[in-house]
Structures are given as C-alpha cells and as structure tokens.
Amino acid sequence: MHQLVIRNAHLVDGTGAPARDADIAIDEHGLVAEIGAVSGRGAEEIDAAGRLVTPGWVDVHTHYDGQATWDPELSPSSWHGVTTTVFGNCGVGFAPARASQRDWLIQLMEGVEDIPGSALAEGIDWQWETFPEYLDALARMPRVMDIATQVPHGSVRAYVMGERGARNEPATVEDLEQMAAIVTEGIRAGALGFSSSRTKLHLALDGEPVPGTFAGAEEMIAMGRAVAAAGGGVVEVASDIGLGGLEGDFGADIDWMRTLAADHGLTVTYALTQADRHPEQWRELLELSSAPIDGPGRVLAQVAGRPGGLLLGWETSLNPFKMHPTYVRLSALPVERRLAELCRPEVKAAILSEQTGFTGRFNHDVAHGFHKMYPLGENPDYEPDAAHCIEALAAAAGVDPYEYCYDVLCANGGKGLIYFPLTDYSQRSHNPTYERLNHHGAFLSLSDGGAHCRLICDASTPTYLLTHWTRDRARGPKLRLEDAVKLQTHDTAAVYGLGDRGTLAVGKKGDLNVIDYDALRLDAPRMVYDLPTGAPRLLQGVHGYVATVVSGQVTWRDGEPTGARPGVLLRGRR
C-alpha cells in the first residue's frame, strides 16, 4: 500500500513537457513510486479529477531567518504552495552571532528587510552562536515545508571584525582567513551557499550599509573560494542595479562574479531589475553576465515574477503624506484611532494644505509620483494600464491628484492601498518581466517572503505566476502553463543543487500541489498584527489550492493546515 495516491491528475510535472493525465503514488519514504495508471491503493487518496497537479514550489529568495525559529507554518509562503524555501539572502541573517551582537543583528535585519525588530527580539530563542549551531537549532523544529539557508556576509564580517566589520572597514589578511574559515564551516555543516549585499539601499536602522557592501574583489573571491573548498554552492548577491539602478560600479562586480564561476565552478547570482532612470541598462548587464565563460560555473540574474512594487497606505511604512506635519502628529496614535482621524474631513483638509517634509529623489517620487501610483483594489492588478494611474484618474475626474490619492487611502475605513511599482515598470519602456523570465541567463527569484512586512507582499508570486502569466494576462504574451511551473520548480531547485525535487518523477521527492486552476485567485493584501508582540505584516490570501503535499503528507487542505509537519532542514546539495 502506498502512503498517498493522487488519482485522475492533470499533471504538469515540472520538466516543461506537455501536461498529461495520470495517477501519482507516493511511498512510505515520501518518494514518488509510480506515475501513470496506479493500481495499488493508498493509505490516503485524493481524487484530482479536473484539478491541476504540479510539483511543490521551490522559492529560493526569502528571509525567514528569524521567523523559521518560531513559526512552523512559515506563512504566507506555505499558503501559496511553497514546499521548499531558501533564506539567508542579501548578506543578512542571525548566525554566526555573539551574544553581544544579537541586538545589532536584529536592527540590521529590520533596517534592510523591514521585519519588525520587536517581533524578532521576542520571537527568536537564541540557541546558537556559530553557524552550525544555528542549523542545529533550525533542525529541531518540525514544520510544514523543507527549509535551507546560506551563510550571510554581514554576520560573518561582524563576528570576525567586530565594529570594524560593521562599519565596512577594509579586511586584513587575517580577517579574510577567519571569515573564509567560517564560510567553509557553514557550507560543510549544510548551508547551500554564501550571500552578500552590494547595494547602498540596504541600510541598518543606524544608517550604516550592510557589512560587505564595499568589500573589494579580493574579499568576495576569498569568500567564494571558501564555498568551493567546502564542496561548492551558490554565491548570492543583492546588487545596486537590481534595487533601483542607483549610481554604482556594478559592471566591475560582474568581473569577479565571472571569475568565481569560471575558476571555482560556482553558481553566482545577482538581483536584476529595470530602473526608471536607465530602463534599458538591465539588458546590457544581463547579456554581459550571461556571456559564455570557461569552466563549469555560471552567472545568473535573479528576476522577479512581477514588478517590485511598494504598497502605500495609512498602515504601511510609506505613503505620500507621511512627512506632512499633521500626519506626523497623528502617526503615534494607535492604528484604529489614527485611521479614524485621517478619514475626518477637517484632517484631510489640513494635510492637503501642507507641504511634505520628504527630501531626496526617492522620497520625492513617493510624495509626488502619481504617474506611477495605482489604486490596488479588491482584485489586485500588478500590470496596470497607464490610464489607471492616479494622475490619469484624477484628471478624468477633474480632481487634484493629491486629493484623489488621499481618498484612495481612506477607502475601506482607511485601509486602502496604492500600488507603486518601484522597479520593472518604467513608463519609458515595456514591462520587461516576460522577456527576462524566458532568458537563459536569468531565473525566477526575489519573492522576499517574510521580509518587507510593512511595505511589500510578494510572497504570493508563486500563485501569481499561474493566475496572471498563464491565464489572465491581457497586455502581452502569456507563458505556457508548463513553462511557468518549470520556472518555479525544476529551475529554482536546479540553481541550488536540489536535484531530488522540482519535478514529479519516480524516485523524486513527493512534494506537490493539487490546484483548482480555474478558481485560483489572489485576495487583496491586508495588514494584520499577528507577529510576536503584535507587530504588523502584510499578508495576501489565496483561493484554489486544494492540497499541498510534502514528502507524501498533506500539509494544507483547502486553505487550512492539517497539522502534518514533515518538513526538515536541508543540509547541502543533493
């Protein structure tokens, strides 16, 4: 008898092959035993007639480094069919960590990834100092999905260099040796790679860039060499061009990335998006980074499944009126009272009569960029027509755009949201996402699950890839369903060397989703206050996942957890 049998599935197996109808049997070890006409019975059976069955999603760019120590469900990613996730990205994390550095690491994560520090301080039970001890702590908790992580540059630099490392001072030869030893130790203990940040947008709460932001090629090559010495893996980099196109010498970084890939057989990845100021620059960098190299390694661009959009609202971290004096005065009020005050006509009049205190190019766009602001509504549109921006809607209504924007935020009792596509949606160029998802030098990434809790809600991207790109898109070509599934199963698993999953084939891991494809839809994001200490985060619900299965056990059924927790910590590539 099999552990689980899925009957009458419309199977998209993750390889890119055409969909077919089949049964799937999973054995007592959680592995796929049969695909086809399964005659044997299952201890549990699911009739998937009329349902789409896919491998479980493999999301390789999340920030559950802290949440994974207290939350066995790793929501919201698990709501969206994710069965394997990789965190430790962008050079930030919580190991290694001396006791005296814990608060500093929390404020670093809060500054870079907008995860409430109060929640991290309350939720994390520090049972480690070294990176291997951190892995041991993660391994002790059963959970609904498999997890894996990377060694973060920021933590390593601070651990070895102390204040010098935190302030981005140059590393000595001895510093490099000690950091390399920690990276080697982490990879041998089970980390899938090493991560770093090269963007000036990544700042701790104290205003300092992430340790390693300005590290020279010598330091980056030394860390990559350490990964290779321990058996290999990924070197993941958050880049300036990937996070807004700020000034920077990213082209020089490509040189050492290609050197690491060629000389040490590593996969080196970097974040790549389109910036408004240089809307075609991404194309040049992608061609440069993906040009053929000598040796077994490769350089790949991480690209998002939808534009990197901020959600502006009265409850989120940003809104166009945040630095108006009246708003500043009200911002310290409890949330429900604040929303009620902001929706009063006299308060609206006062705020609209004032000038913003925002300074700087980015904040100017937040305060005045109505040509790139779109009311999100109950049926969120992440590829909106320019005619639906607030500037255009206000003009059509004969209303000042500031007033129109204010009214959008006051919708639904002050819970209205505005979509502000920060990247990948230049008004001077087309949406580049489709082209990049089909490029040989790029792979799907950047969902940022668990991060940017009060400003971004892109952990739903795995679902969006199906609903928008294969079914609903009206403004350009669609993806084949088989290709969209492959992008977030086989392809993401392959980047991190997880060859035991990502496709549904005999002998592979029994992770899968049973989906009502026609009914699959995303809710509008909403702010909830369910993190430790009641801290806020944006969540986006979903309808249409009939079941999610990990190692042959049903973990979610019709949107509700079953209580099964077969997920484990992955140690090393396989």
Alpha carbon distance 502, 493 (integer Å): 6
Same domain, 385 and 251: no
- Percent of the residues in the chain that have a pLDDT greater than 90, as a whole number: 88
pLDDT in tens, 286-299: 999 999 998 889 99
Same domain, 179 and 86: yes
**Rounded to two decimals, what is the model's pTM?**
0.96
Same domain, 125 and 194: yes
If you average pLDDT over residues 313-325, what whole number do you get?
Answer: 97
Alpha carbon distance 184, 204 (integer Å): 26
Residue 283 to residues 299, 309, 483, Cα–Cα distance (Å): 15, 20, 22
Q: Which residue has the higher pLDDT, 540 or 360?
A: 540
Domain boundary, last residue among 370, 399, 421:
421
Domain span including residue 390 = 310-421
Let me know if residue 347 belongs to a domain: yes
Alpha carbon distance 65, 325 (integer Å): 37
Let me know if residue 8 belongs to a domain: no
Let me know if residue 505 belongs to a domain: no
| CATH number of 94's domain | 3.20.20.140
Across 230-244, 361-375, 421-435, 450-464, the highest mean pLDDT is recorded for 450-464
| DSSP element (H, E) containing 152 | strand 151-152
The domain total for the chain is: 2
Same domain, 190 and 296: yes
Same domain, 145 and 266: yes
Please report which residue ranges of 53-199 form alpha helices under DSSP H: 102-113, 117-123, 131-139, 153-161, 163-166, 173-189
Let me know if residue 179 belongs to a domain: yes
Please determine, for residue 241, whether its predicted confidence score (pLDDT) is greater than 80.
no
Q: Which residue has the higher pLDDT, 208 or 481?
A: 481
Take residue 24 and report the two structure tokens written for it.
């799937």
Alpha carbon distance 574, 567 (integer Å): 16
Residue with tokens 């030869």: 173
Same domain, 315 and 257: no
Please determine, for residue 251, whether its predicted confidence score (pLDDT) is greater than 80.
no
Please determine, for residue 455, whether its predicted confidence score (pLDDT) is greater than 70.
yes
Same domain, 326 and 434: no
10 Å CB burial of residue 130 (0-12, 13-18, 19+) is middle
Which residues make beta-bridge pairs with 267? 234, 298
Let me know if residue 285 belongs to a domain: yes
Q: Which residue has the higher pLDDT, 201 or 443?
A: 443
The predicted structure's pLDDT at residue 359: 85
Q: Which residue has the higher pLDDT, 433 or 295?
A: 433
Backbone angles phi, psi at 273, to 5 degrees: -135, 170
Q: What is the mean pLDDT of the chain?
A: 95
Let me know if residue 549 belongs to a domain: no
Same domain, 102 and 244: yes
Same domain, 84 and 210: yes
Let me know if residue 47 belongs to a domain: no
Please determine, for residue 242, whether its predicted confidence score (pLDDT) is greater than 60.
no
Residue 237 to residues 91, 154, 257, Cα–Cα distance (Å): 8, 12, 9
Same domain, 97 and 161: yes
The predicted structure's pLDDT at residue 250: 62
Same domain, 76 and 203: yes
If you average pLDDT over residues 15-31, what whole number do you get?
Answer: 98
Number of helices followed by number of strands (H, E) in the chain: 20, 25
Alpha carbon distance 533, 519 (integer Å): 36
Alpha carbon distance 418, 390 (integer Å): 9
Same domain, 116 and 205: yes
Let me know if residue 518 belongs to a domain: no
How confident is residue 99, by pLDDT bands cut at 50, 70 and 90?
very high
Residues in contact with 102: Cβ distance below 8 Å, sequence separation at least 6, in sequence order:
94, 124, 126
What is the SS3 assignment for 414? helix
The predicted structure's pLDDT at residue 429: 63
Q: Give which of 223, 164, 174, 229 is closest to 198, Cα–Cα.
A: 223
Alpha carbon distance 108, 516 (integer Å): 41
